[in-house]
Amino acid sequence: MPTHTPKNIRPFHTVLVANRGEIALRVLRTVRRLGYGTVAVYSEADRDSPHVQAADRAVCIGPAAPAQSYLNIEAILQAAQLAGADAVHPGYGFLSENDAFADAVDTAGLVFIGPSGDSIRAMGNKAGAKRLMQGWGMPCIPGYEGQDQSDEAFVLEAARIGFPIMCKAAAGGGGRGMRRVDTPDALPAALASARSEARTAFGSDELILESALIDPRHVEIQLLADSHGHVVHLGERDCSVQRRHQKLIEEAPSPAVNAELRARMGQVAVDSARAMGYVGAGTMEFLLDAEGQFYFMEMNTRLQVEHAVTEAITGLDLVEWQLRVASGQALPWQQADIQLKGHAIEVRLTAEDVPAGFLPQTGPVLRWRPPTPQSTGHDVRIDSALREGGQVSPHYDSMVAKIVAHGSDREEARRKLLLAVRQCVLLGLPSNQGFLADCLADAVFVQGARVHTGFVAERMGLPPAAPVPSAHTVALAAMAAQVHNLPTTADGHVHAGALGQGQAQGLLQWGEQRWRYRIHTQGMGWQVQCTALGAASSAQADTGTTSLTHVQWQDAARTELALACQGLREQICSARTENGVQIFHAGRAWTFDCPVAHGQAEASAGSGAVLAPLTARVLQVMVSPGQPVQTGERLLVLEAMKMEHTLTAPITGVVRELRVQSGGQALKGTLLLQIEAEAA
């Protein structure tokens, strides 16, 4: 263990938050509540972001790319000097677990609201952290943490450990640089992929190997430690519902942890934190097997994304206690004073295309209507920096909001959260909102005891299947598309007579499915007939007629449309786009294209066009013009939102056109390369 360097622990008056988005807003909220001055930093892409408006002062620290702004230590320190800040809170992500940043803040004479650089260094490398923890008696997963990083060494060590194994980046976290390997022949490709992603995300391609536990739970212990040697834990969180080794749903306490196990896990976590002289908030992460044995994975030396569920069941504000500890205050409680009340569950709302394999998405935020206390009660919390009319950028993480619910027990918390998620409107780009609702309603999740890290693959499929819009949803989409530009009365009513000749028709397309719709006026109402075409003819939304009355826009901007469907009053949120219409109905968002009947050709089966599935940087090009390729062969690697995405050949043939090169940018939907099919 390195010798601790001096850490500035003293009172301060103004806090700079070295982060962006929802976490910057969340930290600023508590900083302001405690009476401190506030400073925000922002990239050029975030100039109009909510966290900039929320602070007393704000300083631009560089271009959109994180390396030139939010990861630029010198620029952040200069911003603190310019704005008169004498303390820095790193939030989570970016520089929050960067030991050089913590050291630089201390050296500049500022207070770093987090642990010392030495503690971050000790826990920042998984290999070194495991060696330290084993020395302190912490149970660890068998594996390899050696300095020999050659493929030959990993092959030998993997054979010793036994398959399946986990290949992990030694630096960083968040599921990046992590691959499960089930067979020896898959190891070389996994090593190459993990190294590349780790190098991009963390600046280090060092890897470790661990035995892959079968269907474990991911359970973590929240710690608080002051500068007087006192450490307590605040119970555990269960983070087992994950995709791509990244957390989606977190809850506290864990359904799999009883009081005796909580005490054992908490004690080893506290003892280890005390052994390293830890100061601040931190989290010990464990895997828990079916027999109740727990194994150390890593320590996060920062505030966690999921800290809100711990706050809900303890009544404590963790950011407040980060600030108090950083100023030199002692924790006022003994372990027995920490009481857990009720249950809390959190979901991470992310901008991603779930059926496409959780592919991160960027684009405009056309509608953002989170649930309100009036609709869900006061036990639901939403942390977000989204704003209607803004953008989700390709430069930053895909998480756009957190929704947290607290109840007297797990089932009450689950019901409240499910209601809130089903009321959360995000239009403009794909999100996982509907998928989260499906997870919360799943019978295994409801029961709780059998949830493990393979829950998504086991219950939802990989990738999860896309839901099919009902005939009713299609009819409402057709109505929204047609009435958007029709004249209304002063109170927003759209009368059937406004349709002119009394009828309208068009096409709607959702994925590969199409419907022809016809709208007829009938007295004071409307008849919407939808007929499925082609592939949709056998789908759930086949053919039907929907009767509508009392169609009324609820706002001048024409975003909320109320109507009565065969006597049942309901309301949809809608947004017109250049090529179609988006609506929020039946608890989820639906995106429909409105193709011109004869002006939009059907996509030909077996097309060799490879399009960009998201806006991203081209990390690697593996083919050249004239090169033969086989179906499934790797063509390109894209990087966006801190993740790598490999594109493969859709057909066997020859690369005839290549429009991108390594280091370039690719806009979503643009042609990257064209493969010409082999002649029959």
- Give the three-class secondary structure for 75: helix
- CA 157 to chain CA centroid, nearest Å: 33
Cα angle: 219, vertex 224, 228; to 5 degrees: 150
Q: Measured on CA atoms in the order 178, 182, 183, 184, is the torsion positive or negative?
A: positive
Residue 75 φ/ψ, nearest 5 degrees: -65, -40
Number of CB atoms found within 10 A of residue 363's CB? 16
Please list, residue by residue across 41-56, b when 16 or more beta carbons sit within 10 angstroms of its beta carbon and e when fewer do.
Answer: bbbebbeebbbbebbb
The Cα–Cα gap between 169 and 187 comes to 14
> How many angstroms separate the Cα of 271 from the Cα of each of 278, 284, 287?
10, 11, 18
- What's the CA gap between 679 and 656, in Å, rounded? 14
Residue 442, class by beta-carbon neighbours within 10 Å (0-12 exposed, 13-18 middle, 19+ buried)? middle
Q: 73-83 vs 99-107: helix axis angle to the nearest 10?
A: 30
Residues 6+ apart with CB under 8 A from 609: 671, 674, 675
Compute the distance between CA of residue 53 and CA of residue 39 in angstroms, rounded to an integer.
10
Tokens encoding 565: 């469907």
Q: Is the separation of the CB atoms in 34 and 42 below 8 Å?
A: no
Cβ partners under 8 Å of residue 604, min gap 6? none
How many whole angstroms from its chain centre is CA 197? 18
Of residues 302, 324, 348, 588, which has the active-site annotation? 302
Cα dihedral 661/665/667/669 (nearest 10): 20
Q: Which residues contact 88 (CB under 8 A, 6 or more apart)?
A: 15, 16, 17, 18, 76, 80, 105, 110, 111, 112, 113
> What is the side-by-side order of every strand in the sheet holding 231-243?
294-300, 280-288, 217-225, 231-243, 246-252, 343-350, 399-407, 380-384
C-alpha closest to that of 562 among 470, 488, 665: 488
H or E element that contains 323: helix 318-326
Strand pairing partners for 300? 283
What whole-number distance in Å separates Cα of residue 62 and Cα of residue 9? 29
Tell me if residue 57 is catalytic. no
Instruction: Output the CA–CA distances (angstroms, integers) from residue 42 to 33, 66, 519, in the order listed.
Output: 22, 10, 49
Going edge to edge, which strands form the sheet with 665-666? 643-648, 634-640, 616-621, 665-666
Say if residues 450 and 444 touch (Cβ distance below 8 Å): yes
Helix/strand/coil for 230: coil
- Asked if 460 and 435 touch (Cβ cutoff 8 Å), the reply is yes
Catalytic residues: 302
